[in-house]
């Protein structure tokens, strides 16, 4: 089974990944593929550069689902996570397989901003207004190739992550139970 993971910045996708990895899932990240290509092309792997590179690669290949194709090639076991889906064409490419389930994770902006200020990743916005601007660009499809809200409309399961880590894990256990009953 492949779990495709999409969601808004700071929503808790990383915690979902940790949970799934603890259940034996392999982990593949869309941005890691872009980082590899950026290194080959001598492009600094900033968030903005990777977004532009992703758009360029899709345009060059004339395949908007090319990153999903690459992830599918890399999967070695029967349990994998495709983490960081940012456009619907990547979901369509994954869904060519029958064992794919897409999970969307989101939360209100203020909660997510609070989370990202605590995680302190390089490239994360420093102010709430900067966060809102970037978040709106990514989520509403205003930056090329970034359409999180459209992705969230096509998922099999949605997690609105507004509470504790324990409750997030409980929601994931419920989802995995639901997936198992569908097999």
Q: Domain residue spans in the chain?
A: 2-173
The C-alpha atoms of residue 60 and residue 15 are separated, in whole angstroms, by 34
* Mean of pLDDT values over 128-157: 80
Q: Edge-to-edge strand order for the sheet containing 80-85?
A: 26-29, 80-85, 2-7, 100-106, 157-160
pLDDT of 139 strictly over 80: no
* Mean of pLDDT values over 16-39: 94
DSSP 19: H
Scan for tokens 């999409």, then name that residue.
6
CATH topology of domain 2-173: Rossmann fold (3.40.50)
pLDDT of 168 strictly over 70: yes
How much is the pLDDT for 142?
52
Q: Which of 67, 71, 69 is nearest to 80 (CA)?
A: 71
* Mean of pLDDT values over 83-90: 92
Q: Which two tokens stand for residue 82?
A: 């495709």
């Amino acid at each position: 089974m492949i779990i495709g993971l999409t969601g808004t910045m700071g929503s808790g996708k990383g915690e979902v990944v940790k949970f799934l990895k603890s259940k034996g899932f392999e982990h593949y990240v869309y941005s890691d593929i872009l980082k590899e290509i950026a290194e080959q092309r001598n492009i600094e792997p900033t968030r903005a550069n990777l977004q532009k590179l992703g758009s360029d690669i899709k345009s060059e290949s004339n395949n908007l689902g090319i990153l999903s194709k690459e992830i599918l090639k890399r999967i070695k076991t029967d349990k994998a996570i495709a983490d960081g889906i940012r456009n619907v064409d990547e979901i369509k490419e994954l869904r060519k397989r029958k064992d794919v389930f897409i999970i969307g994770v989101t939360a209100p902006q203020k909660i997510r901003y609070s989370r990202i200020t605590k995680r302190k990743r390089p490239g994360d916005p420093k102010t709430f207004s900067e966060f809102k601007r970037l978040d709106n660009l990514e989520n509403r499809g205003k930056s090329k190739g970034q359409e999180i809200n459209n992705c969230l409309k096509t998922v099999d399961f949605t997690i609105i992550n507004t509470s504790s880590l324990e409750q997030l894990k409980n929601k994931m256990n419920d989802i995995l139970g639901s997936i198992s009953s569908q097999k």
